[in-house]
A = this chain, B = another copy of it.
């Protein structure tokens, strides 16, 4: 029997939305789906390394890099941002309930062989370089996304 397939476009750079994407993805992998998360636009920020990486960049690219959150734990919330207090409250509550952080969910995804793909067009536009992202990420365009998605059972845009 062929494996079921789940393919998620992660467009959003919000902590809560990225969490939802990774919870569904990890769940699907646990139920033996082949899973791909295609990170595009702000969704790429979830894969940035937390420490600064020295790469050569133009002015605008430097500005983007500075303004965008560096890594999973720096993302904000889609709701109840509340001057930065929201993410702290949520993380406090998550910790209390032993829920996994986004960083841990990304690690689990890599352990479960979920295919983490980054959109090359967005990398170009935002001036991001491979050295700035986590290791083990694949790089591809919309054609590769569609090839995975068109045979999919669960396709989501988050």
CB-CB under 8 A for A41 and B23, given A28-B146, A97-B124, A146-B28: no
Residues of B within 8 A of A67 (CB): 80, 82
The answer, yes or no, to whether A53 is at the interface (CB within 8 Å) is no
Q: How far is A11 from B31 in the complex, measured between Cα atoms in Å? A: 22
- Copy tally for this chain in the complex stands at 3
The answer, yes or no, to whether A2 is at the interface (CB within 8 Å) is no
Chain B residue with Cβ nearest A90: B125
User: Which of B13, B27, B93, B155 is close to A125, meaning CB atoms less than 8 Å apart?
Assistant: B93
Pairwise interchain contact B27-A143, C-beta atoms closer than 8 A: yes
Pairwise interchain contact B143-A31, C-beta atoms closer than 8 A: yes
Residues of B within 8 A of A158 (CB): 11, 157
